[in-house]
Amino acid sequence: MKITVLDGYGMNPGDLSWDEMSKLGDVTVYDRTSPTELMERVKDSDILLTNKVILNDDNLRALPNLKYIGVLATGYNVVDVKTANELGIVVTNIPAYSTDSVAQMVVAHLLNITQRVGYYADENRKGRWSSNPDFCYWDTPLTELAGKTMGIIGLGNTGSATANIARAFGMNVKAFTSKDQADLPEGVKKASLDEIFSSADVVSLHCPLTDSTKHIINAERLRQMKPSAIIINTGRGPLVNEQDLADALNSGTIYAAGVDVLSSEPPKADNPLLSAKNCFITPHIAWATKEARQRLMDIAVSNLRAFLDGSPVNKV
């Protein structure tokens, strides 16, 4: 069984092992695969593993040996699933492997914005505290989270984990979700989007990207928010209209944003959020703790083993 990993570097830059995967077939791992390299690399493959490499209708129809595609992520929009189903190609994904890591990144952004630990550490390396006339100094707002309101849009795995952490900080939690109030965790109130945007001190995005959620953060919604409010996006880049958010930050319509995902990755140099006031951007690493990546590897192997045993799991 010929197994080809198209872009393995993102999941495993060298600190994990492919050994368990290699027990299942003849494995070739490419760190990255460009569109021009794709077909030559996969022409004889029975099994493909991909994270960001796109497998479209034309690709799939040109691969008569292909039996299985394992997407090394939760989202599977990189694969034309309709064509795969038509051709009898099984497609699987990796659900819920990074829940705790993503929730942790939400809090990392939130604490960075409210406490600015990195900023003050850098200032002190420059000698600012040593030359200060007083025993302390600060020149950014410092905010206590207890008693503030966290608005969560989408209460799936990561939204629920984020809600639990927010409650541990003493925050009030409101959620926009399709779930009934009776099914929500204790201390979480079901709320409309209008209520969340108008009342929340922090809005954290955890919803899937659909036609109805694309640009859910836009100029109209941002104008509903408090000038002290914070946006956190660890979900999908296109949930945010980036120009509208940049304008809101630069004008003081809202205070700050913590962003781990952008609409185009890597971003274009002229992305307005890169230079926006009080916008703190990490390079799509919420999922990338070693623990989460090891779970990703383990589930990828388990998915493939189940397929080879004739009982595929996590099919999409």
31-70 pLDDT, tens digit per residue, is 999 999 999 999 999 999 999 999 999 999 999 999 999 9
Contact 149, 200 (CB under 8 A): yes
Q: Is 284 a catalytic residue?
A: yes
Return the HEC string of 239-303: HECHHHHHHHHHHCCCCEEEECCCCCCCCCCCCHHHHCCCEEECCCCCCCCHHHHHHHHHHHHHH
Contact 149, 171 (CB under 8 A): yes
**Whole-angstrom distance, CA of residue 97 vs CA of residue 111:** 24
Residues 291-310: pLDDT tens digits? Answer: 999 999 999 999 999 999 99
Per-residue confidence (pLDDT) for residue 34, from 0 to 100: 97
Per-residue confidence (pLDDT) for residue 45, from 0 to 100: 97
- Sign of the four-CA dihedral 219, 112, 108, 189: negative
**Which DSSP letter does residue 55 get?**
B
**Whole-angstrom distance, CA of residue 137 vs CA of residue 128:** 9
Contact 41, 64 (CB under 8 A): no
3-state secondary structure of 32: coil
Task: Supply 79's token pair.
Answer: 């694969």
CA 151, distance to chain mean position in Å, is: 17
Task: Supply 55's token pair.
Answer: 């497998």
What average pLDDT does this structure show over 195-209?
A: 97
Q: Is 116 a catalytic residue?
A: no
What average pLDDT does this structure show over 1-13?
A: 97
Model confidence band, residue 242 (pLDDT cutoffs 50, 70, 90): very high
Q: Among 236, 242, 293, 295, which one carries the catalytic annotation?
A: 236
Per-residue confidence (pLDDT) for residue 263, from 0 to 100: 96
What average pLDDT does this structure show over 256-275?
A: 97
List beta partners, residue 4: 28, 48
Per-residue confidence (pLDDT) for residue 250, from 0 to 100: 98
Per-residue confidence (pLDDT) for residue 24, from 0 to 100: 98
3-state secondary structure of 51: coil
Q: Is 236 a catalytic residue?
A: yes
3-state secondary structure of 116: coil
**Whole-angstrom distance, CA of residue 176 vs CA of residue 244:** 21
Closest Cα to residue 236, out of 260, 257, 202?
Answer: 260
CA 249, distance to chain mean position in Å, is: 22
Q: Considering the chain, what percentage of its residues have pLDDT values greater than 90?
A: 99
Closest Cα to residue 120, out of 105, 104, 141, 106?
Answer: 141
Per-residue confidence (pLDDT) for residue 228, from 0 to 100: 98
